[in-house]
Amino acid sequence: MSASPKISRRAFATGLAFFGFGRSASLAQNFAGLGGDASGFASVMPGKSFEFPRDHGPHPDYRVEWWYLTANLRDSTGNALGVQWTLFRQAIQPGPQREGWANQHVWMGHAAVTRADTHRYGETFARGGVGQSGVDAHPFHAWIDSWQMRGLDRMSAMNVAPLEVNASHEEFSYALRLEADKALVLQGEAGYSVKSERGQASYYYSQPHFTAAGIVTIDGRSANVTGQAWMDREWSSQPLAPDQTGWDWFSLHLETGEKLMLYRLRRTRGEPYLTGNWIGSDGQSVALSPKTAEMIPTATTDVAGRRLPTGWRIIIQDRGMTIDTVPLNPESWMGTRVSYWEGPVSFTGTHRGVGYLEMTGY
């Protein structure tokens, strides 16, 4: 139960964290209270047919939802850096959306930039219904305060591109332009992503094929950057089982152009629930068989009073893959109200490349 205050987007998904507004005791109560009860909200069922651009917009009948972007970039001198942009939506009561301040949705934005020696992050919150934050499906526009992700003219609904995304906080700011020549990818089984043997699930699609270019400013120093980016879209009403304590989640760009999404859900007792998708260079997404994949922690880092596994060995037998990941900055801790570790990684072994690692519930 001690893990409950340190949860992030996946745990946020249960609605239990409520943006960290509470203290640990109340979170622990919420864990038992809200985690098991999603009544009044829509359920995630297999066999949904996705429709774009409509599904780029919010799904207020579901309790939680997010627009999540990570980018692995390099500046003109070749130094690696990472950028994160996230918008979360949570409904605190079911039912039709109410007008104005009575609206029952609360929005949370997270943004971060990471270099080998620096990690800067910011967060912001908003109530729905008044315009401070929200998402329009068409023309695509997701925003909270001055942070936004916006579809440019002639945006392709299937490619979710071109997009521009920006955020600024006290010590950093960034503005990126994203392009993609391949269509988005449905994760899990045709976008139905199972989170536990007991059937908790979410709707989940990604655009892992973005190329990115723009400017990142950290502590007053600006750099032109280029690289690749990955967007995740997920919504659900209760995607976590009550005994699941946190996640270790990877999104990896292989040098071959293939992509790997892989995560394991830890639980209080028993083996973690491991799952993922292999996305071929042709854009075809195939769910991995959990029995053939392994995630083994190889190195730990003490950060923010916690011990986190920041080095991993990933083995996927079907694909002949054995890789070791290292973090760009092992101290990529998001000390936000809902806190977690999120930062860029690189890997070597049978395959090479870069990606993002997120670890929650530590």
Partner 1 sequence: MKQGYWILAVLLSHWRRHPLQLMTLMVGLISATALWSGVEALNQQARASYDRAAAVFGGSRTAMLVGQRSSSFSQQLFVDLRRAGWRVSPVVEGRVRVQGRPLRLLGIEPVTFPAQAGSIPAVGAPDLKSFITPPGEALVAPETLTALAGTEGAALRTDDGESLPPLKVHARLAPDVVVVDIGLAQSILHLQGRLSRLLVGNTRSRLPPLETVAGDMLRYVEADAGTDLEHLTDSFHLNLSAFGLLSFLVGLFIVYSAIGLAFEQRMPMFRTLRACGVSSRQLNGVLLIELLVLAIAGGLIGLACGYLIAAGLLPDVAASLQGLYGAQVSGALALRPEWWGAGLAMSAIGTLAASATSLLKVIRLPVLAAAQPYAWRQSQRRWLGWQGVTAAAMLLAAIIVLTLGDSLISGFAVLALLLLGAALALPVLLALVLRIGERSSRRPLVVWFWADSRQQLPALSLALMALLLALAVNVGVGTMVESFSKTFTAWLDGRLAADVYVNAMSEAEARDIEASLRARQEVTAILPSGRAEIEIGGRPVEILGLADHATYRDRWPLLESRPNAWGDLKSGEAAFVSEQLARRLKRRPGDRLDVGTPTGDWSLRIAAIYADYGNPKGQIAVNIDAFTTRFPDLPRTRLGLRVSPGKIAPLIDDMRKAFHLDESRLSNQSTLKMESKVIFNRTFAVTAALNTFTLGVAGVALLTSLLTLSHSRLPQLAPLWALGVTRRQLAGIEFLKTIFIAFITAMLALPLGLLVAWCLIAVVNVRAFGWRLPFHVFPLHLAELVVVAMLASLLAMLIPLLRLMRMPPAALIRIFSNER
For 164, the token pair is: 């521009």
Among 1, 2, 21, 284, binds partner 1 (CB under 8 A): 21
Residue 112 contacts partner 1 per CB under 8 A: no
The distance of closest approach from Cβ of residue 38 to partner 1 in the complex, given in angstroms and rounded to an integer, is 15
Residue 118 contacts partner 1 per CB under 8 A: no
Burial class (CB in 10 A: 0-12, 13-18, 19+), 316: buried
Comparison of 108 and 323: residue with beta carbon closer to partner 1:
108
Contact 47, 192 (CB under 8 A): yes
Burial class (CB in 10 A: 0-12, 13-18, 19+), 177: middle
Q: Which stretch binds partner 1 (CB under 8 A): 78-86, 169-177, 242-250, 341-349?
A: 169-177
Residue 22 contacts partner 1 per CB under 8 A: yes
Among 143, 203, 205, 347, binds partner 1 (CB under 8 A): 143
Burial class (CB in 10 A: 0-12, 13-18, 19+), 127: middle
Residue 11 contacts partner 1 per CB under 8 A: no
Q: Which stretch binds partner 1 (CB under 8 A): 16-24, 35-43, 72-80, 286-294?
A: 16-24
Any bridge partners for residue 321, and if so which? Answer: 316
The distance of closest approach from Cβ of residue 31 to partner 1 in the complex, given in angstroms and rounded to an integer, is 11
Comparison of 17 and 180: residue with beta carbon closer to partner 1:
17
The distance of closest approach from Cβ of residue 129 to partner 1 in the complex, given in angstroms and rounded to an integer, is 8
Residue 146 contacts partner 1 per CB under 8 A: yes
Quote the CA–CA distance of 343 and 8 in Å, as a whole number. 14
Q: Which stretch binds partner 1 (CB under 8 A): 55-63, 99-107, 306-314, 321-329?
A: 99-107
Among 1, 32, 116, 130, binds partner 1 (CB under 8 A): 130
Of the candidates 277, 234, 235, 244, which has an alpha carbon nearest to the alpha carbon of residue 258?
A: 277
Of the candidates 192, 176, 166, which has an alpha carbon nearest to the alpha carbon of residue 229?
A: 176
Contact 146, 175 (CB under 8 A): no
Cβ neighbours around 172 below 10 Å, total: 23
Binding site for partner 1 (CB under 8 A): 17-18, 21-23, 26-27, 29-30, 92-93, 100-102, 104, 106, 124-127, 130-132, 143, 145-146, 168-171
